[in-house]
Structure 1
């Protein structure tokens, strides 16, 4: 933990010349977004590299090398951000750069909406003589553009297959003993439209000051053995890590993803798997993530396109307000996806989003694209500092920070202190979020009369059907377990009448012993 925090302090504010922005000169929106991000982050305009690139999400290997990779290297050399020397022409193999990096100040490349997403598979077929048989060996060289660019300064490498990521499972660049240019972090500010990207930039900065404010949801599959068990293990470990930080966390272990009626709301963190395209509560028309939300769905085609609000996962998550996410442009295989347990550990230890993903990512020159501001650090400030900022600015969202404080006290075994603190904050703010938690604490201590009064206050004052149904289902289940079916049925009738017509009401059917 001490190592994580010490390294994170240095990573929070990168030094001058550490960030280069890459935009598509052929698209006005791309140029405008590049300037917008540079202004927001205080990055000099001279560190914006404008390149004439294809406007499609897909580009050929030839276009990648001639229109993106080589001109970008030339830009870095002219800006004296890298020191490179030419290689011996006789040693240069097909698809290799002609340069060797001696030193570099660049730590981050930020690709802007308009820069192509993926490199097409242009593999060639090799014929080898093995014994008396001829075998044709295909080498997949398709890749996410940002994953390929992460190798920009690393020297010659084979483009077929994956390259081991030197940052994987590390705590910082200081641990790297490899060649200059290793450890380059590449992410993209991208999504279905320019408006989504602006929102991503704005809300990331807001969440840096005030922290992630909301609930955390983890959708596993209940796998206990076999090759896919590791995916569920990652998700459970991520769940435990965010619980340590005091978040109100929900973990689901059913094989299917959450249904459309699931009363999910106020989402600051979402990690789940395994469905081909966005579904469940995310399809409800009014669903929105909390500002700065971190959200990802593990699937082999989750980011085939980012310019969609309905297909795959990464684009639709961004369209619904997620500020930090990632996905696969093509089949990466589960073991080469970001290990979300490592990601959660690094992010919660105050590392920037880009660092956290790359430290959880085993392979480069491969299929994963990272979407969001790589400098975004939602744990930059301690919980105490977040509460102070929220109180000073008079923001009602302080209720979420208070909730984390309550949950951390409970986790530390200070139950009575947590109960008193929660009760005090409910009286001071009238927060329904805290009142719901107070009811849970009473119920946990078998104080059902007190719990019931608080639950029913929340249900009566609920501003959303999700709140009414979530809290109602919980209290109805307790009542039925206590043998008070009549009271539970009456409460259910009240909720159904008040929120008549909502698809979320079907979730009340789960409130049965």
Structure 2
């Protein structure tokens, strides 16, 4: 009878509302670091998690630990406390396995998500002395190791004894069926961590803001990497983004996005393959919009979360991302998060904590999820997102996908009349240029020449606007935009030189000798003597 009761309870958990999920969140903090405990309290307050659900344990204070430290100071104290409090159910014994872990027979898991706070160790180093002497267990050489992400091991807290060499298949991966008891025993872990305590707190506040306003911004997808399989995942991701109506850009040359590329409001980013954050992300002052979700596939994308320059995980958090995933050691491509699965789950309304496990093939391996597991990026329907230019662009793109171009253009024109913006103006101008409507291009981009105080994220858009104006006969307006750009900081010196070259060409075509000389003088000042 008890087993039947457990199965009935577990089977209904996936349908629980958010407040019930919050009531079953367990938060792990390091009691040796007061800020870790304060972060746990901050999250509990913001998400209405009962304070009694905070477990503050004396844990190692380094990001990297040994297996002995992990089992003795993290795994066993945490597992015993979860069992004592009734969060995981089963039968205990005094027996230990070969690694010193207590033998349990588990039958239930009441935890919706385990939130790991900054201060809890991140990764466990390989220990060859713990590799099993089992010749009959054929493990490929590259997988015959036990280095792992702490969080990935904690996913198996409610499982009976498992082998730590290589990985354990994730029963939640790409699972559309009702969850089995095995799947329900997976503890879904996500981490609030980053280079600073403030950046860790911002993971929460950014998610909450996006749940109020909706996911507002553009997508950017970097499609070309070193392996065809990953390219296919990212191509599928880009297709999903377009089907969702998001405005955006793709990079398919094999490089990452250029540092001078358009990169306004990157609320959704998926790409590969670079060792550390680069391109537009590295621009001075770059910041993600609220609720941004970003994934960059790389073998060691999260070797530390305390640095704002190493890998991708820490730097993305430092720049304000709300949710991301990474790998602490080499996972090999087939065992890392699938970006297309992650986006599919999120766009269906799932929260981050569920989506990352839907997208992840392996546990007891290298993956780490960074962000609020309760975060639902698509909580606010598009029709309720108000008058943001990016929401309007998304609505227009969905109309275009249904071959309703007149309605889409009418929507964009109305938005541009009432609330002029560069994003909508550029979209309108591109449609007008494609239809050979030069006057409409100038009308759509009238706002461009009026912008004198240029924000860094607007510089690439204004350069594109100037080129469109020049190509469609509106050279005086284009020259005014170029003049404004020449007085503003460019994303890179190369971008400034290229823009000034375009400006000189436009001034010459317009017969504006003075402007041509001004642009040429500035370009000459930027060119090293040896290159002249």
Matched residue, 1:207: 210
User: Structure 1 455/486 Cα, relative in aligned 2: closer, same or farther at 3 Å?
Assistant: closer
Question: What secondary structure does 2:445 align onto?
Answer: helix
1:132-211 alignment to 2 at 5 Å? 139-171=144-176, 175-179=178-182, 181-211=184-214
Q: Which runs of 5+ in 1 are unaligned?
A: 1-5, 392-397
Could you tell me whether the CA contact under 8 Å between 1:469 and 1:508 is conserved in 2? no
Correspondent of 2:113 among 108, 119, 124: 108
Q: CA, structure 1 residues 423+159, in 2 after alignment: closer, same or farther (shift >3 Å)?
A: same
Alignment RMSD (CA, Å):
2.9
1:497 equivalenced with 2:486 (yes/no): yes
Indicate the residue corresponding to 2:421 in structure 1.
Answer: 431
CA change 1:498–1:14 in 2 (3 A) is: same
1:445 aligns with: 435
Residue 489 to residue 105, structure 1, CA distance change in 2 (3 Å)? closer
- Three-state SS of the structure 2 residue aligned to 1:250 is strand
1:98 is paired with a residue whose SS is: strand
Instruction: After TM superposition, give the deviation of residue 58 of structure 1 in Å.
Output: 1.0
Equivalent residue number for residue 395 of structure 1: none
**Distance apart, 1:235 and its partner CA:** 1.4
Task: Give 1:180 shift.
Answer: 7.0
Tell me what 1:53 maps to: 59
Tell whether the 8 Å contact from 2:117 to 2:192 is kept in structure 1 after alignment.
yes
- Are residues 1:119 and 2:110 paired? no
CA contact (8 A) 1:476 1:488 kept: no
Structure 1 counterpart of 2:5? none
Secondary structure of the corresponding residue to residue 302 of structure 2: coil
Query: RCO higher in 1 or 2 (8 Å CA, sep ≥ 6)?
Result: 1
Q: Please name the residue that 2:391 is paired with.
A: 401
Aligned to 2:74: 68
The alpha-carbon deviation at position 79 of structure 1 amounts to 2.0
- In the aligned structure 1, how far is the partner of 2:322 from the partner of 2:383? 23
- Deviations along 1:307-363, one digit per CA (max 9) or x if unpaired, are 001111110010001110111100000111101011111111111012111101100
Quick one: distance in 2 between partners of 1:165 and 1:53? 27
Question: Which of 14, 35, 43 is residue 29 of structure 1 equivalent to?
Answer: 35
C-alpha change, 1:138 and 1:279, in structure 2 (3 Å) is: closer
468-477 or 409-418: which moved more?
468-477
1:160-191 CA-partner distances (Å, limit 9, x unpaired): 001100010024xx622243753321010000
| Structure number, greater radius of gyration | 2
Q: Distance in 2 between matches of 1:129 and 1:7?
A: 41
Deviates more, 1:450-459 or 1:296-305: 450-459
User: Could you tell me the TM-score, scaled by structure 1's length?
Assistant: 0.87
Q: Displacement, 1:446?
A: 2.9
Q: Is the 8 A contact 2:482 2:499 kept in 1?
A: no
Change in Cα spacing, 1:454 to 1:207, as seen in structure 2 (3 Å) is same
When residues 310 and 143 of structure 1 are mapped into structure 2, their CA distance, relative to the original with a 3 A threshold, is: same
**Aligned pair in 2 of structure 1 residues 323, 300: CA closer, same or farther (>3 Å)?**
same
Comparing 237-246 with 344-353, greater Cα deviation is found at 237-246
